[in-house]
Structure 1
Amino acid sequence: MWPSRNRTETVTCLACGDQVTRSMAREYDKHGDRWDRSDKEFEHLCKSCHGDLCHHPRDELEDILVECEAGGADRDAFLAGYLETVEDRYGTLEEES
């Protein structure tokens, strides 16, 4: 039997930690391919945090995060390594005025 569409499912926003109903959230797929649903569990963002995201392609992001040992180094060391890697590959980020 299919689950009821009226069932309220609560999910946790991976950015802010707030719990919101599923209807008030957006699916987030860290692999950037939300349409291929086989064997996947999605994380969720509340609408506010989803709207704050940069929606540019992130083709190499996961590889860079692994290379920079995201989650394995302290925050300052990770951020310094990440910034250095990104600047080496893509140049410095210039602020738009």
Structure 2
Amino acid sequence: DVASGAKIFKKCSACHKVEKGANATGPYLHGVVGRAIDSAEGFGYSGALEQIGADWTPENLYAFLENPKKVAPGTSMSFSGLKKSSDRADVIAYLDSLDD
């Protein structure tokens, strides 16, 4: 549910922006679904994300959003995760709706 995902994303918006190129504490998330992992231009990554995979597939995003520190030990992302499966799916649907 894209609308639900937009509401849930407000938790993420303290550190992530959805405008292309608008890095903040975290990398911008415009076009993140399907994008290569750790490839937001201009953002300095911690190096922990490579173990997740090559791209931010919906499955990789789903696992990461559940528990970032478990999926990518050493990540600098301090968010503890979204515990509800439906919340993770909705956020991914929202993010996927943002790209061109």
Higher helix share: 2
TM range (shorter): under 0.3
Higher strand share: 1
TM-score (structure 1 length as normaliser): 0.27
TM-score (structure 2 length as normaliser): 0.26
Greater relative contact order (Cα < 8 A, sep 6+): 2
